[in-house]
Structure 1
Amino acid sequence: MTEDEPRRATFRAVADEVRKSIQRGTYAPGAKLPTEGELADQLGTNRGTAAQALRLLASEGLINKSRRGMFVHRIVNKIVRDSTSRYVRARREEGQARGAFEAEIRGLGMTPSSITTTQHTQPPAWVADLLGVDGNDVSTLARVRRMLADDVPVQLATSYLPLAIAEGTRLEEIDTGPGGSKSRLAELGHAQATITEEIDVRPPTGEEVEALDMREDQRVYEIAHIGRTEDGRAVEVTVHVLPTHLWRLSYSWPLGPTH
């Protein structure tokens, strides 16, 4: 056993105690936590160990540090992104929701909102290849969204749609209506029959740290979402960026005969 191991175990034990207090509701979402010194006195440890424990909880996204002190994050329980059902039309349009995210967040008892911009743009090369558009020209409509739950930024999403399909349609509007872009694509004759999602976990960029109110030592899920029509044509590519400490990804599917 090295000299550092007992101290490391101690600060993790302190972190466990604070984490349990948050989970029990002793410290509610958004509540201010005791200072390092106060916490050390309460738990019978020293200030340095308490500081290490709080840094660990901050890296996990459970607490935030500001000039006014340490506060419990306003979202303590992870948001479940159920990719199996979120794109079913009835689910997307439930309660006149403007797409899967809005329905998802409402279903969890939180208030969804988003800041959306749209623009004609030259897509990244890999997006152009998937959509079958010219990657050297302004050939897509980009819908860029910063998405919030109870005013907490929880996701960034950029959707690319072929300009030949989207130009001059409601897809160019900030509010695409109930069901979001997938419902509007279906009305235009481009209903999506299959969806592919490729997931990576990576550090956030500087812009993402700022936009999602994160720390540089935290991680994000990057989900490349591709929607294809019955004939296999890709008509939508969306890049979702979600803090891993705020989200849990859920997938399920039926299995065919095993013999």
Structure 2
Amino acid sequence: MNQDEPRRATFRAVADEVRGRIKGGTYAPGTKLPTEGELADQIGTNRGTAAQALRLLASEGLIHKSRRGAFVHRIVTKILRDSTSRYVRARREEGQARGAFEAEIRALGLTPSSVTATHHMKPPAWVADLLGVDANSVSTLARVRRMLADDVPVQLATSYLPLEIAAGTRLEEIDTGPGGSKSRLAELGHAQALITEEIEVRSPTPEEVEALDMAEDQRVFEIAHIGRTEDGRAVEVTVHVLPTHLWRLSYSWPLGPTH
């Protein structure tokens, strides 16, 4: 490597080299990386530049650093969230999957799992407005999930459902069965015909940093997901929180005539 290059360009070139080795499998997911000094010797740079490169890769989520050294993240290829097809019933129920998340994680060759709790609660005011329920009373069932892929936390999701619909049904159970809550709502006569998703990129809260094993300087997608029936009634509002370094979002739709 040319030591006369500007320092900024040099550490980015070192990061490119290490990133390539991770993507190419030289440094496998979960393995320990060479020390900063070893890396500098291997690539032909100095320890300070190697340290800058590793900090950059840590901010991207490709590696994480601890007292024991730097390690490759266990998920190095971003998870594709294909919102065009993930909510189709056949896709949600494929292989007895318990919803869209489980189906998409399995399709990537990863093992999905989740920690789920359900509560009767007062909804946030904006959720109550969408669902047409009372924000000042216990009017919703909340399904709160911490979702993992190969034991790596990759998503937080809280779904709000009108209590008048969900109370006393399988929607209150931890395991809602094949297809998840959307399939159970359909069986109750509240099939969703229109989905809206609003996306924001923001800093994580301290609680999200801990729950998702993130760094404070990383970012999350917050997706407000709203499911409506054929007559326009909102019957589900879900807030998804996903680390941006672990996910790609994909949307597609047909266009009408262009002439």
TM-score, normalised to structure 2, is 0.98
Partner of 2:37: 37
Q: Partner of 1:253 in structure 2?
A: 253
Supply the AA of the counterpart residue of 1:246: L
Matched with 1:96 is 96
Paired residue type of 2:23: Q
Structure 1 unpaired stretches of 5+: none
Write the distance in 1 (CA, Å) between the matches of 2:53 and 2:189: 55
2:211 and 2:222 map into 1 onto residues whose CA distance is 15
1:66: Cα distance to partner? 1.4
Distance 1:152 1:191 in 2: 32
The equivalent residue for 1:182 is 182
**Which amino acid is 2:84 matched to?**
T
Corresponding residue of 2:147: 147
Deviation at 1:257, TM superposition (A): 1.0
Match of 1:203 in 2: 203
Residue 52 (structure 1) aligns with: 52
Structure 2: how far apart are the matches of 1:92 and 1:224?
Answer: 19
CA distance in 2, matches of 1:11, 1:58: 13
Query: How many equivalent pairs are there?
Result: 255
Measured after TM superposition, the shift of residue 223 of structure 1 is: 0.1
Which letter maps to 2:156?
L
Deviation at 1:68, TM superposition (A): 1.1
Q: CA RMSD of the aligned region, Å?
A: 0.7
Q: Could you tell me how far apart the structure 1 residues matched to 2:45 and 2:224 are?
A: 46
What percentage of residue pairs aligned between the two structures are identical? 89
> Is 2:87 aligned against 1:87?
yes
Structure 1 Cα separation of the partners of residues 66 and 55 of structure 2: 13
Runs of 4+ in 1 over 3 A off after TM superposition: none
For 1:221-232, what aligned pairs fall within 5 Å after superposition? 221-232=221-232
Structure 2 residue 167 is the aligned partner of structure 1 residue 167:
yes
- Once the two structures are TM-superposed, the CA of residue 36 in structure 1 deviates from its matched residue by 0.5
Instruction: For residue 6 of structure 2, give the secondary structure of its aligned residue in structure 1.
Output: helix
Deviation at 1:67, TM superposition (A): 1.6
Q: Which deviations, in whole Å up to 9, do the C-alpha atoms of 1:48-92 show, x marking residues without a partner?
A: 111000000000000011121100000000000000000000000
- Structure 1 residue 6: Cα displacement: 1.1
1:130 aligns with 2:136: no
Q: CA shift at 1:199, angstroms?
A: 0.2
Partner-residue secondary structure (3-state), 1:254: coil
Which amino acid is the alignment partner of residue 133 of structure 1? V
CA distance in 2, matches of 1:247, 1:77: 9
Unaligned runs of 5+ in 2: none
TM-score using structure 1 length: 0.98
1:46 maps to amino acid? N
Tell me, in whole angstroms, the C-alpha distance in 1 between the residues paired with 2:254 and 2:154: 30
Matched with 1:239 is 239
Q: C-alpha displacement at 1:44, in angstroms?
A: 1.1
**Which letter does structure 2 place at the counterpart of 1:211?**
A
Helix, strand or coil at the partner of 1:116: strand
Post-superposition Cα deviations, 1:95-143, rounded to whole Å, max 9, x if no partner, equal: 0000000000000000000000000010000000000000011100000
